[in-house]
Amino acid sequence: MALIELNGITRIYGEGETEVRALDGIDLSIERGEIIALLGPSGSGKTTLLNIIAALDEPTEGTYSFESQEVPNGNVEAMTTFRRENIGYIFQFFNLLGDLTALENVLLVQEIAGVRDKELAISQLKEVGLEGLEDRFPAQMSGGQRQRVAIARSLSKKPNIILGDELTGNLDSETSNQVMDSLIETCREGDLTTMFVTHDTSLTRFATRVINLDSGRVVSDEPGGLSTMAGQARSAAKDIAKGAKNIVESIKDVAKDIIG
């Protein structure tokens, strides 16, 4: 059973002459644990798709199911509850609250989700490499550190799916790699499903699947670098197992010779 099923998702903004088809019939099936990189030119519909998956926006047409249940549509309260329970959204510009420390920013999101757990918040900050910076305010941290607070914050409410919109868009490549490493490692450990928007094709090595959008449609859907690595690891493991079996067989033969 897929975690997410999108069928014929269309999102039209405006009407008449100003009508824009931001999404034009998206069919997607996403399994738990997938790490998806979403690429495409500016205006191709990436943010719109993320917002619909997050139930921050509603499709004009089509259906969206999460764990085989139709996601509430048109009911603001139900959409908010769905979001609270399932979605961790990392926005491009961090949107940390400046008057709160790193730890307080994480605790606030837990409180909203009804799962306050200070130990977990501290350990999540540690996981993204921010041990010792819990009491810093955003203004006292670098861009990469702030982005990692945003990741810790989105993880600390134990979401089912993490959505990131150009989460490394304004970071240098080294910091961007560190941020992606923290995110992917945490997601893999927790078997979380992730979809991240990026313009940087080199980041597809962090994904198990790479989806390209153009003019509101899926134009390609391929395995990403992680899936290739996983595939290579699997076939290497098979070779080793085969080798081990051969060795056992030859030992048996030798033993037979010795014993007679």
Ligand X SMILES: Nc1ncnc2c1ncn2[C@@H]1O[C@H](COP(=O)(O)OP(=O)(O)OP(=O)(O)O)[C@@H](O)[C@H]1O
Kindly tell me which of 45 and 88 has the beta carbon lying closer to ligand X.
45
Stretches 35-43, 65-73, 101-109, 134-142: which one binds ligand X (CB under 6 A)? 35-43
Binds ligand X (CB under 6 A): choice among 15, 16, 17, 42:
42
Question: Is residue 153 a contact partner of residue 91, using CB atoms and an 8 Å limit?
Answer: no
Enumerate the β-bridge partners of residue 64.
6
20 binds, among Mg ion, ligand X, none (CB under 5 to 8 A by kind): ligand X
| Using rule CB under 6 A, residue 44 touches ligand X | yes
Question: Is residue 53 a contact partner of residue 4, using CB atoms and an 8 Å limit?
Answer: yes
Stretches 45-53, 65-73, 109-117, 119-127: which one binds ligand X (CB under 6 A)? 45-53
| Using rule CB under 6 A, residue 129 touches ligand X | no
Q: Is 196 left (phi over 0), alpha (psi -120 to 50) or beta?
A: beta
Burial of residue 158, with CB atoms counted within 10 A of its CB: 0-12 exposed, 13-18 middle, 19 or more buried: middle
| Using rule CB under 6 A, residue 124 touches ligand X | no
252 binds, among ligand X, Mg ion, none (CB under 5 to 8 A by kind): none
Q: Which of residues 12-31 bind ligand X (CB under 6 A)?
A: 13-14, 20, 22
168 binds, among Mg ion, ligand X, none (CB under 5 to 8 A by kind): none
Binds Mg ion (CB under 5 A): choice among 11, 35, 38, 47:
47
Binds ligand X (CB under 6 A): choice among 47, 110, 193, 198:
47
Kindly tell me which of 46 and 209 has the beta carbon lying closer to ligand X.
46
| Using rule CB under 6 A, residue 43 touches ligand X | yes
First-to-last alpha carbon distance for the chain, in angstroms, is 55
How many beta carbons lie within 10 A of that of residue 255, not counting itself?
Answer: 9
User: What is the C-alpha to C-alpha distance for residues 135 and 151, in angstroms, rounded to an integer?
Assistant: 17
User: What is the C-alpha to C-alpha distance for residues 141 and 149, in angstroms, rounded to an integer?
Assistant: 10
Who's near 147: CB < 8 A, 6+ residues apart? Answer: 90, 94, 167, 168, 171, 175, 179
Residue numbers at the binding site for ligand X (CB under 6 A): 13-14, 20, 22, 40, 42-48
Question: Residue numbers of the site for Mg ion (CB under 5 A)?
Answer: 47
